[in-house]
Chains A and B, each alone.
Chain A
Amino acid sequence: MDKNRRAFLVSMAQNVAIAATGAIVWSAFVDEAKASQLLLRPPGARKEDEFIKLCIKCGLCVEACPYDTLMLAKPGDYKPLGTPYYIPRDIPCYMCEDIPCVPPCPTGALDIESVTREEGGKKVFDITMMRMGVAIVDIKDCIAYWGIQCDACYRACPLLDKAIYMELRRNERTGKHAKLLPVVDPDYCTGCGLCEHACVTEIAAIKVFPRDVALGKVGEHYVKGWQKKDEERLKGSKGIGTTVTPRSKKSAVESLNEGIDFE
């Protein structure tokens, strides 16, 4: 009897140990596979962690795209296996007005609501509502910032003068010319990547990144005094917080006088 029980316990322990070993290897692999952050998802995609839960990797969005923009990640791409993404430098999103890629999604990983607005009581698709990413200008390698005239990205932008506008600045080097500088407004930029696709430099000087990666956040206690009712954002916040950075740990006087020998 005792021997039987021992044998049973040992074999149970064996099974559990094998399962645990397998689970650890497996989970390490999966965790690694889904860790990639610099990935541009199709229009209407939910937040990355929600998206990766819901996406069933069927490729219906890929098939629906008339420009072959979307791809499914293959083994060897170092991206979450089987999930859809696009590389704007190769093929950007052309922002079809009927958004063919979103409705076929069977699981809701691509959210129709996020690209739909009401117009006269009717629901209409609005591709300008999508936020796949945001374009960032590399001002050191953009030739417009050198003073050479180039507006390739600006002309390529489907939301011209909104998502990218040209800022006029005096060219201090020559003293008598102007620079026309492309500037991205993240409030409008959808991340379609037509700018990145159009950029004339060898490696694009304007690049689309996922919004979570590219954009900052000011925190609640900075209020725009010049905007009507902006203070109302503070309502319901749990007191005014203080942003702590390595620099703000010491008092201002202490920080300023640091390292100075007064003798």
Chain B
Amino acid sequence: MSKLWDKYRFLLARRLVQLSVLVLYFGANAWGWKILQGNLSSSLLFQKIPLADPYALLQIFATGAIAAADVIIGAVIVAIFYALVGGRAFCSYVCPINMVTDLANYLRRKWNLDKFEKKWWASRNIRYWVLGLSFILSFLLGTAAFEMVSPISMMHRGIVFGMGFGWAAIVAIFLFDLFVLKNGWCGHICPLGGFYSIIGRYNLFRVHHNQPNCTLCMKCKEVCPEKEVLYMIGKKSQMVDMGECTLCGRCVEVCDDDALYFSIRDFAKKGDSHES
């Protein structure tokens, strides 16, 4: 039992948070609960505290529109939270697409697809291009451009307000991640992930690597959705310093040698973390 807890505690926590958020939003729409109303784009916590997607708000600004104070306050609250706690914790703990892509990844490992598939190479920087483009397109088209096509919003709104043809977008992402490109959506394309990578660049919570314990089994790299952030594995003791880390904690769980652990940002070693 304790082994189960050791190996899956963050995964369980993530699924619990993801599902609770969905249930709370769903309950607000279906049964009039007043805990968390709205959706991931903008919501109201306890009927008082506004919360809003800062990326969506920036797109609105890019169209040239001036939004009301509520949404700005909400976006600032969310931005500060993820800047402190860890930008891409949103991706692994809140975003509903995460469950879809994690399933694709799980099946990939189960079916050994990595070994047999025809390899495509795609830069993980595409998301920053998409991020930049979304602002240019928002300006040119006069509407929040990514919000018009975002499968994250489609899935989330779909669960809370009714799906329509939204399931097609979810299936597309699932198949893309499963058969076309490993971690294709979350790791390469999604501009929201890119946005939170930037916001969370200097967050407090970090995965740390203790090199002497490492046996180079590479289980962490196998399971990591952003394995480029684990470049220091087996090489040196250091914290994971890249914003792309989603803080999902799978690497910490799968490590049998206690070489990885969560802790507060290591300010002292910040200097040498950029070497090598």
Interface residues, chain A, with chain B CB atoms under 8 Å away: 15, 18-19, 22-23, 26-27, 29-31, 33-34, 49-50, 52-54, 56-60, 62-63, 71-72, 74-77, 80-82, 104-108
Contact across chains for A34 and B141 when beta carbons are under 8 A apart: yes
Contact across chains for B149 and A56 when beta carbons are under 8 A apart: no
**How many angstroms from the CA of A15 to the CA of B122 in the assembled complex?**
12
**How many angstroms from the CA of A30 to the CA of B169 in the assembled complex?**
15
Contact across chains for A108 and B68 when beta carbons are under 8 A apart: yes
Whether A60 contacts B149 in the complex (CB less than 8 A), given A53-B142, A106-B70, A106-B71, comes out as no
Chain A, residue nearest B28 (CB): A63
Interface residues of B in 131-171 (CB under 8 A from A): 133, 136-137, 140-145, 147-149, 153-154, 157-158, 160-166, 168-169
Q: Tell me the minimal C-beta distance from A100 to chain B in angstroms.
A: 12
Contact across chains for A62 and B137 when beta carbons are under 8 A apart: no
Q: Is B249 an interface residue (CB 8 A)?
A: no
Write out the residue numbers on chain B whose beta carbons fall within 8 Å of the beta carbon of A31: 141
17 extra interface residue pairs, beta carbon distance < 8 Å, beyond A58-B42, A60-B38, A106-B68: A23-B133, A27-B140, A33-B148, A56-B41, A56-B52, A57-B153, A58-B39, A63-B32, A63-B37, A72-B161, A74-B165, A76-B164, A76-B166, A81-B153, A82-B153, A107-B71, A108-B66
Write out the residue numbers on chain B whose beta carbons fall within 8 Å of the beta carbon of A27: 137, 140-141, 145
Write out the residue numbers on chain A whose beta carbons fall within 8 Å of the beta carbon of B65: 50, 53-54
Task: Indicate with 1 or 0, residue by residue over B223-241, a CB within 8 angstroms of chain A CB atoms.
Answer: 0000000000000000000
Most buried by A among B42, B60, B145: B42
**How many angstroms from the CA of A80 to the CA of B142 in the assembled complex?**
13
A-B CB contact pairs (8 Å), 29 listed: A22-B130, A22-B133, A26-B133, A26-B137, A26-B149, A53-B64, A53-B142, A53-B144, A54-B67, A56-B42, A56-B56, A57-B41, A58-B42, A58-B43, A59-B157, A59-B161, A60-B37, A60-B42, A60-B43, A62-B161, A63-B32, A74-B158, A74-B163, A74-B164, A75-B166, A82-B153, A82-B157, A105-B68, A106-B38
Contact across chains for A57 and B136 when beta carbons are under 8 A apart: no
Interface residues, chain B, with chain A CB atoms under 8 Å away: 28-29, 32, 37-39, 41-44, 50, 52-53, 56-57, 60, 63-68, 70-71, 74, 129-130, 133, 136-137, 140-145, 147-149, 153-154, 157-158, 160-166, 168-169
**How many angstroms from the CA of A81 to the CA of B157 in the assembled complex?**
10
**How many angstroms from the CA of A18 to the CA of B130 in the assembled complex?**
11
Contact across chains for A59 and B60 when beta carbons are under 8 A apart: no
Chain A, residue nearest B125 (CB): A15
